[in-house]
Amino acid sequence: MKTLKIEDSKKILRAIRPHRIIWPILIGLGVAVFLLARNFDSEQFTFLEWSFAAVLFIVLAILMMAIRDLAYIVRIRLLTDKQLSWRQAFEVIMLWEFSSAISPSVVGGTAPAIFFLYKERLSAGESTAVVLVATFLDELFFILAIPILLIVLGNEIFPNHTISHLQQLSRYFWIGYGLVFIYTVLLGYSIFINPNLIKIILKRVFGFPLLKRWKEGACLLSDQLIETSKWYKTKPLRFWTKTFLATIVSWTARYWVVNFMFMAFFFKSLSLYDHFLIYARQLTMWILLLVSPTPGGSGFAEIFFSDFLSDVIPNLSWVIPMALLWRLISYYPYLFIGAIILPRWVNRVFKKKLS
């Protein structure tokens, strides 16, 4: 664990090879085409009336994704005490998003993110701690935002197509929310209150016969995590305010993509309440997408979009094309940006190509 073996590096890099972008693209587009064909309507693309206002709001939707990424870049520079340059932070975030986009949502891009930071010359403990704290901040945003939106909007945060449908969705949602809540509490407790808990867990996990060969490295990692945890606990309130504010900005900008998309094509039909509703529904969707078995939630994201937001769109036949446009803005770019950056990043951090 002190040094990452070349074989381990190759194993991780094989898991995030650029050509793997083909699978989420095929799944996402395949589901979209299926849904379009199944509910074919000649009016499906009639919402595409390009005007100055439409172009402006689409540009703003794309800008929201840029703001989201910038907020993440700022946050990771803060969490690493600015050990990363702006370029390094940009590449790490893009590669993190890329690995998340080509991995099942239930798996995510956490392990590759630790690897990316490690290869940027952070220690294994620092890299793990940064990713764990970033994850904690993300989850904290959701467990705080959901109750607030529930108080304001009530059960409207779920699509109310039928009573049974509402009950089924809310049941799955609260199971997911409960798991996220428990995970966040345990993560926060391990990082900020009792980091020795991580050491105890790692020792027990790597005590199994099949994992004993890595026990020494796991213990070293846990010691590094404990030291990093002590460093984080010395940070002033100002530091945590900045990092959590960056988290709020990043997630809010991501969700405002849909708000601006809707404003581009049916601005006049949306009320202020509708905008709150669109925002809240996306948070609900995210909880359910956590268990998606497909890369980046491909297929499931398009289905959930049509399910959760169809009652906000004036014409039901526009739902699937709007879902496809949403993914084109907020998901597919990371596949191509990551595929471009990854080979260059590999050459830079390894100083030579890995065969």
Give the pLDDT band of residue 326 (cuts 50, 70, 90). Answer: very high
Main-chain dihedrals φ then ψ at residue 313, nearest 5 degrees: -90, 130
Q: 189-241 pLDDT, tens per residue?
A: 878 888 777 777 777 777 766 666 666 766 766 776 777 777 888 889 999 99
Residues 194/163, Cβ–Cβ less than 8 Å: no
pLDDT of residue 249: 97
DSSP string, 231-284: HHHTS-HHHHHHHHHHHHHHHHHHHHHHHHHHHHHHGGG--HHHHHHHHHHHHH
pTM: 0.86
Phi, psi of 294 (to 5 degrees): -95, 155
pLDDT tens across 65-76, in order? Answer: 999 999 999 999
Query: pLDDT band for position 82 (50/70/90)?
Result: very high
Q: CB of 314 within 8 A of CB of 269?
A: yes
Query: What is the spatial distance between Cα 62 and Cα 13, in angstroms, rounded to a whole number?
Result: 29
pLDDT of the residue at 201? 74
DSSP letter for each residue of 15-51: HT-GGGGHHHHHHHHHHHHHHHHHT--TTTTTT----
pLDDT tens sequence across 111-134: 788 889 988 988 877 888 898 899
What per-residue confidence (pLDDT) applies to 5? Answer: 47
Q: d(Cα 43, Cα 40) in Å, to the nearest integer?
A: 9
If you average pLDDT over residues 140-154, what whole number do you get? Answer: 91
**C-alpha atoms less than 13 angstroms from C-alpha of 184 in its C-beta half-sphere:** 17
- Among the listed residues 59, 92, 55, the one whose alpha carbon sits nearest the alpha carbon of residue 76: 92
CA-based radius of gyration for the chain? 21
Distance, first Cα to last Cα, the chain: 22
